[in-house]
Amino acid sequence: MAVSEETAAPEAKARPGERTPRARRKGSWRTALTFWYFVGPFAVGLFVFSYVPVIWSAYLSFFDARNTVTPEPENFVGFGNYVTMIKDRAFQDSLVTFTVFALLMVPLTFGFSLALALLLNKVRTARAFFRSVFFLPFACSYVVASLVWKMSIFNGVRYGLMNSILDLFGIDDVAWLFDPTPPWYWLVIVSLRLWIQSGFYMILFIAALQQIPEQLYEAAYVDGAKPGWKTFWHITLPQLRATSVAVLMLCLIAAYQAFDEFYNLIGNQAYARPPLMYLYTTALGITQDLGRGSAGALILALLIAIVTLLQGKILGFGNAEGK
């Protein structure tokens, strides 16, 4: 008895509604092409404008590169630029300036933004308006805000806004930005940064507050815990742990990157010069020592990475229960 052709060979055609292997491969290729069509330009831009400069900066840090980005092989100095930067007193002072700035900015920004979030989360009327009012400063340029702070609010002359207020109480005018003793310039810089960035972190806290189940507060109320400090300390704050750690890390990284407000408010003054400003003047100033500037930039990047990882490890970043 002859075996039919249909039983001798597997079925070549796909079942109804089922895609053939060729169609599946074609669909996967289309998906991949679509992905790279949208992501490719951004990936190329990220590589060209971010990764290539970082790699080339690491290369320059091992050379005596003055006024050039293509040093000769005989100018190789190894880790000499790193040793020089670590021993540089000006670079050390810039790290001290950053430390003071971080100690002032991080807790103030965290506390102020959290307080705003708690207040606005309770607002029932014109909620979008109030949130927009506090968030809009984040869209303002640091340069523009610095000029407003410097030329109108904290102007050292008699007719500046703050000095006009002091005159009402019979207090002498204050040179807010040009007198390092007492260091009134910290009030100007901290208030500027607080005004700009608190709205952004406020939005992060509001988003986290809206994710807290209401049943937790209802159960606490049944157990006798009235709304107030105990509810905040035992329910709200633990539920905000992951967001709080993220905000602290972002605030610290932003403090390391401080440049615009210092440059536009004070200028290149040794008593208030953050690391980025010192590296800017070293690499792009009169000497244009790109080797030392690159070494300092990599040292600063390493410090940011170490501090961020330690902070995340200690505070339990990514683990809401903190285990």
Judge whether 267 and 180 are in contact, CB under 8 Å.
Answer: no
Integer Cα distance of 28 and 20 in angstroms: 12
The answer to whether 114 and 104 are in contact (CB under 8 A) is: no
Instruction: Give the separation between CA 186 and CA 30, rounded to whole angstroms.
Output: 56
In this structure, of 7-21, 80-94, 248-262, the range with the lowest mean pLDDT score is 7-21
pLDDT digits (tens, 9 = 90+) for 70-112: 888 888 999 999 999 999 999 999 988 888 898 999 999 999 9
Tell me the two tokens of residue 57: 């900066």
Query: Considering the domain boundaries, does residue 261 fall inside one?
Result: yes
Phi, psi of 267 (to 5 degrees): 85, -165
Does the residue 254 lie in any domain? yes
Query: How many residues in the chain?
Result: 323
Helical residues (DSSP H) of 122-160, grouped into ranges? 127-135, 142-148
Instruction: Confirm whether 47 is domain-assigned.
Output: no
- Integer Cα distance of 130 and 138 in angstroms: 14
How many beta carbons lie within 10 A of that of residue 297, not counting itself?
24
Within a domain: 172: yes
Cα separation, 196 vs 320, whole angstroms: 28
Measured CA to CA, the distance from residue 168 to residue 162 in angstroms comes to 10
Predicted confidence at residue 323, as pLDDT, reads 45
According to DSSP, the residues that pair with 289 across neighbouring strands are 66
Instruction: Answer for the pair 104, 190: CB distance below 8 angstroms, yes or no.
Output: yes
pTM of the model: 0.78
| Residue 241 within a domain | yes
pLDDT exceeds cutoff 50 at 322: no
- Give the count of beta carbons closer than 10 Å to the beta carbon of residue 208: 21
Residues 205-217 have pLDDT tens digits of 999 999 988 888 8
Give the DSSP H/E element, type plus range, for residue 114.
helix 89-121
At 132, which CATH number?
1.10.3720.10
Q: Which element (helix H / strand E) includes 238? A: helix 237-239
Task: Give a yes or no: residue 52 inside a domain.
Answer: no
The count of domains in the chain is 1
22-49 average pLDDT score: 81
Answer whether residue 17 is part of any domain: no
Q: Which residues pair with 63 in a beta bridge?
A: 76
User: Domain limits at 297?
Assistant: 80-315
Q: Is residue 38 part of a domain?
A: no
43 pLDDT above the threshold of 50: yes
pLDDT the model gives residue 8: 45
Burial class (CB in 10 A: 0-12, 13-18, 19+), 253: middle
